Amino acid sequence: MSVNDTAGPIMDDPLAGLERHLMGAYVAGAGHDLHDLLQREDEDARTLLAAASRYASAKLSEIEARWHYLHTLRGEE
């Protein structure tokens, strides 16, 4: 599987759009464009995309943890 395989719609996951946005924000902070990086196959692009993916994963985990915490506080779980 190449980097370009992820250029299209990733999945039907409701958080996929948020994940893509978080990754885009991460690479923009590094002075790059997510779409451009997805078209490249060099090591620098792969390294930056992997870092962006880890960042997005951590943020999504944080969001999920906060969501569960709020539901616990409200007695919904």
Q: Which 3 state secondary structure label does DSSP give 42?
A: coil
- Compute how many other C-beta atoms are within 10 angstroms of the C-beta atom of residue 65: 10
Q: Which two tokens stand for residue 24?
A: 């885009």
Per-residue pLDDT tens, the chain, 77 aa: give them. Answer: 444 455 555 556 778 889 999 999 999 999 999 999 999 999 999 999 999 999 999 999 999 999 999 988 888 76
Rounded CA gap, 42 and 26, in Å?
A: 18
Rounded CA gap, 32 and 48, in Å?
A: 9
Q: Which two tokens stand for residue 39?
A: 């078209």
Q: Where are the domains of the chain?
A: 14-73
- Compute how many other C-beta atoms are within 10 angstroms of the C-beta atom of residue 21: 13
